[in-house]
Structure 1
Amino acid sequence: MTKINVGIVGSAGYTGGELLRILIYHPHVNIVYAHSASNAGNGVSDVHTDLLGDTDLRFSDTYHSDIDVLFLCVGHGDARKFLEANTLAPHVKIIDLSQDYRLSAHRGYQGQSFVYGLPELQRDAIRSARYIANPGCFATGIQLALLPLAAQGLLPQQIHINATTGSTGAGQRPSATSHFSWRSGNLSLYKAFSHQHLQEIGESLTQLQPGFLPEGEEPLLQRAMQRINIIPQRGNFPRGILSAIYLDSDLDEAEAQAHYRTFYAEHPFTHVSDTNIDLKQVVNTNKCILQIEKHGGKLLITSIVDNLLKGASGQAVQNMNLMAGLDETAGLRLKSVGF
């Protein structure tokens, strides 16, 4: 089989590094270039030191269209700037890991539209897409916890979420709240009730349950905040997101679990557990694991994902596989840390 030639822009960061780790061993991929202006000429393993002995690839400060797929692992706002400043050949497929094209109002590019790349929501649309907007990490775990209910029209008007993310969710560039000395042994809240991922969550849930978001002229974020109450937290660990979500529901526990197992029966990376779950089950994997419990009139859905894999680079490769007509799991059968 002819290999897929890929380029990665922003390959020295966390998501770029994760892409390299997956794609170096992907059976159907050839990495043409790993772009990093600040590391041009350096070996990839000089920056991603765990790849010593796995690749002789060097970072490049140039990029071109002699590829099949381009991954954009750049900061929010920078993907749109890159595409405005560079003309890509029409045949090049793009998978953008920033938030620049995730919302329906901002998906237009070269007369076409980016497709929101959550496979469990719209796998068929991804297969025929040229441009993919990869979902956010919080958004991925939370949507996977709620889509089966939305598909049945069972979401109530109020959803409550407590979600804790690892430090890699803040990106590689140091900041006051990602510094080890501050983060270690610490826990804090941020962007309470107003996290930007609420917008894509609200759009996806409304896609399955029309009318879920209130109508009106208010910005999308404000309308999503009227229905979805989220308290994000910074955890003192590097990887993973645990989201604990509760809502009013008339379903009993067995009925709810049956809805979830049916909804995800044909999706290889999302699983329902009968027992208590923990982050180490998904760290270093492309899995999402869900647990559903009933407490009185409340349904509790716990969701766990690795923010850098199912929440970013792993999902990007999953989307590439679908776009290329490959087995959805190619290159993504990854082992969790266990201990």
Structure 2
Amino acid sequence: MIKIGILGAAGYTGGELIRLLINHPNAEIVFANSESNAGNLIADVHEGLYGETDLKFTSEMPFDAVDVVFFCFGHGKSEAFLKEHEIPASVKIIDLAQDFRLAPDEVINTQHPTTSQHDFVYGLPEINESKIATAQHVANPGCFATCIQLGLLPAAQMHLLDKDVSVNAITGSTGAGQKPGATTHFSWRNNNLSIYKAFKHQHVPEIRQSLKQVQGYLDANIDFIPYRGDFARGIFATEVVKTEKPLEDIVKGYKEFYKDAPFTHYVDKALDLKQVVNTNKCLIHVDKIDDKLLITSCIDNLLKGAVGQAVQNMNIMFDIDQTTGLKLKSTAF
């Protein structure tokens, strides 16, 4: 059994991670840390887990008793935590925040710099599986970044990203975290739509990093406009790439790129968000109108965009089948 510790276990990602791990045949949760909820039943906070677990939150952090620790902190807290606490070198770390997603040589000139030196591997299995398998520390990708780059990576491999790429993506309210805010409470979010951080979203640098890794270069801009949706979970993205390459060849390239990916699948018809909600899947479809390639990609922001991918990375790190504990059915009806 893989012995697991969870830090920041009371938030949305912590609750979803616990939900997955208590049903994972190779996992045992040793501790779920939450200072503010120490001593409380996990199910009293994550109420969807009533009848599933009798575990309680703890303020303790017995790192010497675990094989891997998941960081479910808010952004910026992981780096600070590692400076203030000593985790044994033998313990693996999977960080769900953005602190270590950019490689040191990609940090320069970004708006969200992290520490200049670290050994975290970027945890996108579709392109980094072999690196993840030998990594001690993994930085889990962002939710928008996962959805968008999975849509664009096959195009990058075909060297199609020579002109600026237009991206629009809409996310559910859980992407903003569990703490209530002015743009997350029901009366504002319901029957509403808005944009935020247009062209300046913090996930753009990691998207560019992966596309550059696959294409070998990236001179084009990624013009990303994020939307807040009036639903709880999921991300639905469209990416527009200008190219003269025939659609038939592009579809073939997409299917070939993901032929061995257990969770990312090319679909031959238009997508619906409900096909991926409550799963670790990313579904992708492409169409072409004149010289415009329209790429559609969608994920569940809390699963493939967060803890589902984190568990997938854990499986790879401990040399077990990637799909273990992640065979989930969508809420399509």
Q: Cα distance, 1:250 vs. partner?
A: 1.6
1:245 aligns with 2:239: yes
3-state SS of paired residue (2:305):
coil
- For 1:149 and 1:130, the matched residues in 2 are separated by 30
Letter in structure 2 aligned against 1:156: D
Contact 2:7 2:70 in 1 (8 A): yes
SS in 2 for 1:12: coil
Counting only pairs closer than 5 Å after superposition, residues 52-67 of structure 1 correspond to structure 2 as 52-65=50-63, 66-67=65-66
1:333 maps to what in 2?
A: 327
Which of 227, 249, 253 pairs up with 1:259? Answer: 253
Shift of 1:210: 2.2
User: How many Å apart are 1:41 and its aligned residue?
Assistant: 0.4
Asked whether 1:94 is paired with 2:93, we answer yes
* Helix, strand or coil at the partner of 2:303: coil
Match of 1:138 in 2: 144
Partner in structure 2 of residue 126 of structure 1: 132
Q: What is the CA–CA distance in structure 2 between the aligned matches of 1:171 and 1:86, rounded to whole Å?
A: 25
Residue aligned with 1:322, SS: helix
In the alignment of these two chains, the number of paired residues is: 324
Is 1:157 aligned with 2:156? no
Pair 1:32 & 2:30 matched: yes
Q: Which one-letter code corresponds to 1:205 in the other structure?
A: L
Identity %: 53
2:110 equivalent to 1:116: no
SS in 1 for 2:284: strand
Aligned-residue offset at 1:278: 0.8
User: Are residue 42 (structure 1) and residue 44 (structure 2) matched?
Assistant: no
1:166-205 mapped onto 2 (5 Å cutoff) = 166-205=172-211
Where does structure 1 lack aligned partners over 5 or more consecutive residues?
Answer: 214-225
* SS across alignment from 1:304: strand
Equivalent in the alignment of 1:229: 223
- 1:101–1:133: 8 Å Cα contact kept in structure 2? yes
Partner of 1:275: 269
State the Cα distance separating 1:56 from its structure 2 match. Answer: 0.4
Structure 2 Cα separation of the partners of residues 167 and 49 of structure 1: 18
**Deviation digits for residues 100-134 of structure 1 (CA, Å, limit 9, x no counterpart):** 0001126779x861000000011100000000000
| 1:135–1:312 CA contact under 8 A, matched in 2 | yes
Deviations 1:266-308 (A, max 9, x none): 0010011111111110000000000110111000000000000
CA distance in 2, matches of 1:268, 1:45: 31
Which structure 2 segments of 5+ residues have no match? 108-113
Report the equivalent of 1:324: 318
